[in-house]
């Protein structure tokens, strides 16, 4: 296939603005010309020499006068000398009346006593007297402006009305046009070098880039370009960045649009926008169409749907367009979603989205590379340990890591630091993970003591249980919506968790509530454990419903399918009898977790008291400070609860 140069001619959408600018320029020129005309008239008047009216009359009465013409306009007398074409002198009359009333001789008086032979010569010497009405230059200008301005205003108003009508018509005509944003080769490129981590995903996408660059290499072997590539992964993992990197590497136009932008209240608009988008992409081929959050318009169809539903019409049009691609069209569709389970099966079959690429949460080495990218260009001190931060941020997405780097810079600026310190990085991590410190929250001594024992209970249970993660930090300083925080960080990234590990998580979550019960009494427990209890309930339900880790419901899961019989009849993917079993299993796991936590804390009462005292004294204890306190904590003898 011959390589085509991208056609990036865009329509000029600024016609209305250009017309308005031209109108303003025209009015400006009219005003400038008017002012220039008035200025020239004033300048001509100013160039005339001023003389007294008595001198003009005396000279005019002289038979040897050099005055050729006298023009009277109101109280102004303009004098034109012989041999001149324009007035050269001007004078002001005193009072009103004619020049004759002021002493100027008439023609007969001027030539009185002259012989008959000399009369004609005498009359030629007599200046021509011309009377005109008073000329007010500014009055003339005002009259002209008052005449022109209404006409100009009407023209401008009609032009504006026509532009509004044209804009409304264009808007109605473009209602079914796709609103995709075009990123051409002239935009700032994003390449795979800008995407840290996710090497497996980049490898899959590199083949797409190579096909766009070297199509003949694959055509010789009979290979066909994938019609579509589906990027699936958690939010913030960089799916959009991956798609832009493909376009940047291939150096082709990149049409980006969100799935929700196809949806509209009017039936048929979404399908029209799909047709328009694919038409534009074909005209600019080779090109890439990127549909973000495609699940907004491509979710599963069911018997409750219908041909008149807007979302189904849009999905059907996408299916038709992807089926209708020519092998040499040079258009690839890349879609992103974090809900693959919601997509219609027709969209996932070969011939449409041929290739599925999983964009996973970054591992530790990938997190380190991502942090290096986001801290690049920021001044950091030598003690900043990005490897330790990568270790602490297990389960974080690329967007989370970018946010941590940005918060670190903001924290350093707020504290007046010239460079980002390790303390700034730690504060930004804790702010993103839990929330900011609530410095305005002031706890009394009783609340501080309850919080200290609560957090100490979490820490000791988590430290003692064999399959729990190590304690990283304990604080009783309020953060976010919590009164205190206990961090457990895994020594390494893990893909799976077994029943032992999950039960240890449940037990350490119950450690805070159990510690309050042992120290202050059964009915002295507080609402501080509400979030812990919610986490226990959610994890227990997940273990039973999604992972098949119950005792009586072992190896049985209940997927939440919209078309399932129980989902349609009861709103849940299981029967009422099974719901009772699930509730019993959840209670059993919660009671077991509380019992295990209680036995651990009873066996380590002295360590609990000491840790609480240290927290009341220092408020925050790091991992190194916790080691000498927790070294004496031991596992109870009742081993059956632990293995």
Three-class DSSP category at 292? strand
Query: How would you write 13-77 as a 3-class SS string?
Result: CCHHHHHHHHHHHHHHHHHHHHHHHHHHHHHHHHHCEECCHHHHHHHHHCCCCCEEEEEEECCEE
Q: What is the b/e burial string over 151-181, where b = at least 16 CB atoms within 10 angstroms of the residue's CB?
A: eeeeeeeeeeeeeeeeeeeeeeeeebbbebe
d(CA 391, CA 610) in angstroms, rounded, equals 29
How far, in Å, are 106, 120, 128, 577, 580 from residue 117 at the CA level?
19, 7, 21, 146, 145
Kindly report the number of other CB atoms within 10 A of residue 102's CB atom: 15
d(CA 133, CA 61) in angstroms, rounded, equals 24
Q: Which residues pair with 621 in a beta bridge?
A: 474
Cβ contacts of 23 within 8 Å, gap of 6 or more: 156, 159
Nearest-CA neighbor of 541 among 553, 531, 530?
553
d(CA 616, CA 587) in angstroms, rounded, equals 34
d(CA 556, CA 364) in angstroms, rounded, equals 33
* Alpha helices, DSSP H, located in 296-438: 310-323, 345-348, 364-375, 386-392, 398-415, 422-433
Active-site entry in 321, 369, 455, 585: 455
Residue 294 carries which DSSP code? G
Helix (H) or strand (E) holding 255: strand 254-258
Kindly report the number of other CB atoms within 10 A of residue 451's CB atom: 26
CA 163 to chain centre: 30
d(CA 343, CA 234) in angstroms, rounded, equals 15
Helix (H) or strand (E) holding 538: helix 530-541
Contact 543, 589 (CB under 8 A): yes
**Structure-token pair, residue 296:** 């907004």
Kindly report the number of other CB atoms within 10 A of residue 226's CB atom: 20
How far, in Å, are 132, 544, 567 from residue 555 at the CA level?
115, 9, 20
CA 152 to chain centre: 42
Three-class DSSP category at 324? coil
455 is catalytic: yes
Active site residues: 455
């Amino acid at each position: 296939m011959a390589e085509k140069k991208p056609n990036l001619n865009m329509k000029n959408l600024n016609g209305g603005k250009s017309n308005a600018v031209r109108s303003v320029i025209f009015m400006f020129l009219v005003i400038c010309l008017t002012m220039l005309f008035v200025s020239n008239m004033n300048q001509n008047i100013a160039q005339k020499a001023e003389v007294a009216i008595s001198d003009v009359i005396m000279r005019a009465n002289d038979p040897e006068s050099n005055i050729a013409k006298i023009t009277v306009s109101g109280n102004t007398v303009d004098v034109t000398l012989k041999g001149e074409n324009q007035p050269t002198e001007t004078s002001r009359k005193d009072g009103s009346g004619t020049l004759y009333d002021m002493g100027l001789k008439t023609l007969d008086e001027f030539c009185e006593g002259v012989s008959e032979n000399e009369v004609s010569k005498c009359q030629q010497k007599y200046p021509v007297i011309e009377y005109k009405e008073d000329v007010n230059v500014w009055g003339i200008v005002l009259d002209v402006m008052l005449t022109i301005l209404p006409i100009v205003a009407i023209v401008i108003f009609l032009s504006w009305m026509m532009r509004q009508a044209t804009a409304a018509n264009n808007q109605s005509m473009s209602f079914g046009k796709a609103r995709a944003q075009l990123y051409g080769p002239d935009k700032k490129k994003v390449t795979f070098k800008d995407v840290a981590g996710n090497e497996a995903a980049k490898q899959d996408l590199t083949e797409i880039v190579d096909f766009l660059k070297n199509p003949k290499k694959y055509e010789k072997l009979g290979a066909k370009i994938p019609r579509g590539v589906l990027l699936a992964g958690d939010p913030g993992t960089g799916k959009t960045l991956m798609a832009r990197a493909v376009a940047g590497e291939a150096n082709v136009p990149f049409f980006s649009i969100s799935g929700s932008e196809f949806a509209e209240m009017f039936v048929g608009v979404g399908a029209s926008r799909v047709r328009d988008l694919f038409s534009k992409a074909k005209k600019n081929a080779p090109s890439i169409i990127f549909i973000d959050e495609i699940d907004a318009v491509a979710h599963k169809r069911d018997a409750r749907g219908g041909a008149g539903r807007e979302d189904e019409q849009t999905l059907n049009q996408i299916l038709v367009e992807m089926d209708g691609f020519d092998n040499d069209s040079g258009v690839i569709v890349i879609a992103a979603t974090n809900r693959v389970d919601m997509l219609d099966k027709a969209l996932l079959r070969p011939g449409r989205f041929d290739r599925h690429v999983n964009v996973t949460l970054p591992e530790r080495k990938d997190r380190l590379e991502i942090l290096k990218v986001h801290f690049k260009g920021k001044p950091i001190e030598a003690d900043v340990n990005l490897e330790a931060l990568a270790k602490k941020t297990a389960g974080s997405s690329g967007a989370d890591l970018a946010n941590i780097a940005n918060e670190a810079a903001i924290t350093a600026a707020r504290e007046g630091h010239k460079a980002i310190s390790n303390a700034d990085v730690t504060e930004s991590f804790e702010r993103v993970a839990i929330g900011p410190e609530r410095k305005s929250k002031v706890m009394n001594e009783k609340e501080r003591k309850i919080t200290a024992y609560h957090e100490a209970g979490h820490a000791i249970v988590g430290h003692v249980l064999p399959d729990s993660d190590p304690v990283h930090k304990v604080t009783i300083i309020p953060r976010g919506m919590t009164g205190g925080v206990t961090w457990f960080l895994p020594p390494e990234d893990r893909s799976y968790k077994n029943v032992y590990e999950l039960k240890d998580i449940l037990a350490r979550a119950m450690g805070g509530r159990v510690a309050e019960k042992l120290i202050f009494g059964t009915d002295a427990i507080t609402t501080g454990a509400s979030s812990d209890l919610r986490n226990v309930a959610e994890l227990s339900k997940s273990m039973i419903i999604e992972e098949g880790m119950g005792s009586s419901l072992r190896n049985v899961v209940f997927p939440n399918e919209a078309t399932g019989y129980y989902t349609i009849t009861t709103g849940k993917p299981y029967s009422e009898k099974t719901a009772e079993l699930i509730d019993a299993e959840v209670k059993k796991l919660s009671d077991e977790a509380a019992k295990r936590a209680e036995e651990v804390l009873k066996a380590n009462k002295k360590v609990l008291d000491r840790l609480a005292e240290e927290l009341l004294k220092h408020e925050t204890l790091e991992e190194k400070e916790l080691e000498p306190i927790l070294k004496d904590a031991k596992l109870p003898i009742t081993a059956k609860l632990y293995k």
